[in-house]
Amino acid sequence: MSYPLAAARHLLLLLPAAATLFLSAVYSQAEFIFFTLIGILIARVIELLPRQAPGLLAVEILYLAWLGNQYGGLMFLLLYSSLIASFFYVRSPRGLAALVILIGIALGIALENMEPLMTGSAVFSFLTVCALLAAGSLAGRRHSRMNSMHEALNRSHEELHQARQRLELYAAQVEQHAQAEERSRIAKDIHDDLGHRLIRIKMMMEAGMKLLEHDREKAKNLLEQVRQQLEESMDNMRRTVRKLTPATQEGTRRYSLTRLITDAGQSMGIEVQMEIQGLAQPLYPSMEIVLYRNAQEAITNAVRHGGATKVRITLLFSRKSVRMSVANNGDLPSGEAASGLGMLGMKERAGMLGGKIEVECKAQYEVITELPLQFAASPVLERSITE
């Protein structure tokens, strides 16, 4: 109980008794003081045993009703102390209503021998105090709920801040992993394609130098083949350098699907289209990276293994997930689609975000990446994946 309420409760036990003692004719002052102290003792016991407050308050109300009826005067005001305690200790609406009704009955018993004017004033003051206490109790409960909501909001804000920090760290780790994976793939391309071409060119040039003395026509044809090999190697080197060069245009996202479509069209000479279905929403960088890398891998596989000339990327946004489909017009595999390192990497990237990979071989070869959206960013935090 707050200090003002506790002070008011004790004053309502002491002041009416003291006024009655001095203003009314009490036949035995010692006995009156003794009975008053019993009432104060009951109030003290209620403070010490708040869990038993409803039952003890009922006893206190009945006792104070008897005391007010017995001595008259202002002793009926003692019941106002019980009224204050009832509103503080009793949380159940039914229990509080029962105690208020009991106090009203007790007040009627205490005012049994009082004049009508005094009785009317006491009833009016009782109703006024009830209304004030009810309003104060309601305001206190609202304030308590507001404090609880404020604390819960602070906890949620802190948890959200920590979750965002974890996601940013995770996005950085995924990006580093994607960069390492891209470097590994470029190194493999250089070794498997450019390295072998250079070895072949070296051997062809050595053979050409030997043929110059005996058969100049064959040596010329051989050097022509060397020139063609060099042109192809230069084109391959340009594509590799273009992949390693970061985007410099203002506003271009590093892992933008629009940029991927442009790069794929220029470097591979194929037609790539994209369609967005559903209500598009911003994604975290980690999700953008996974979709970008999986689309890049699917396009590369479509050209390398299927000889595709057209690729269609479809992004389908739903409430719970984003689904990216990469379909191509290349040759369909004769048997079950092989699961090489590229496909395993796609599954691993999607699995890190709780997603999955599906492959469909119907009218076209189609690779589907589906990621859950429970970690999707708010519009304030991130921009769209396609911009």
**pLDDT tens across 240-262, in order?**
666 655 554 444 455 577 777 77
What is the residue whose two structure tokens read 């442009």? 262
pLDDT at 324 over 90: yes
As a whole number of Å, the end-to-end CA separation of the chain is: 60
pLDDT band at 387 (very low <50, low <70, confident <90, very high): very low
Report pLDDT for 376. Answer: 46
pLDDT at 369 over 90: yes
pLDDT at 377 over 50: no
pLDDT at 142 over 70: yes
DSSP state of 325: E
pLDDT band at 382 (very low <50, low <70, confident <90, very high): very low
- Determine contact, residues 67/37, Cβ cutoff 8 Å: no
pLDDT band at 121 (very low <50, low <70, confident <90, very high): confident
| Tens digit of each residue's pLDDT (9 = 90 or more) over 74-118 | 888 888 888 888 888 888 888 888 888 888 888 888 887 777 887
φ/ψ region of 307 (left if φ > 0, alpha if ψ in -120 to 50, else beta) reads left
Report pLDDT for 251. Answer: 41
pLDDT at 132 over 50: yes
Report pLDDT for 313. Answer: 92
pLDDT (mean) for 40-62: 87
pLDDT at 384 over 50: no
pLDDT at 375 over 50: no
Report pLDDT for 367. Answer: 92
- Determine contact, residues 306/330, Cβ cutoff 8 Å: yes
> Is pLDDT larger for residue 166 or for residue 176?
166
- The percentage of the chain sitting over the pLDDT mark of 90, rounded to a whole number, equals 5
pLDDT at 323 over 90: yes
pLDDT (mean) for 60-72: 85
Report pLDDT for 253. Answer: 52
Report pLDDT for 77. Answer: 84
Domain ranges across the chain: 3-114, 253-387
The residues, any chain, with a CB within 8 Å of residue 35's CB and separated by 6 or more, are 67, 70
Class for the domain spanning 253-387: alpha beta
The residues, any chain, with a CB within 8 Å of residue 26's CB and separated by 6 or more, are 20, 32, 71
Looking at every residue in the chain, the average pLDDT score rounds to 80
Report pLDDT for 335. Answer: 64
Report pLDDT for 368. Answer: 92
pLDDT at 386 over 70: no
The rounded distance, in Å, linking the Cα atoms of 112 and 106 is 10
| Tens digit of each residue's pLDDT (9 = 90 or more) over 174-224 | 777 777 777 777 777 676 667 777 777 778 787 878 777 777 788 788 788
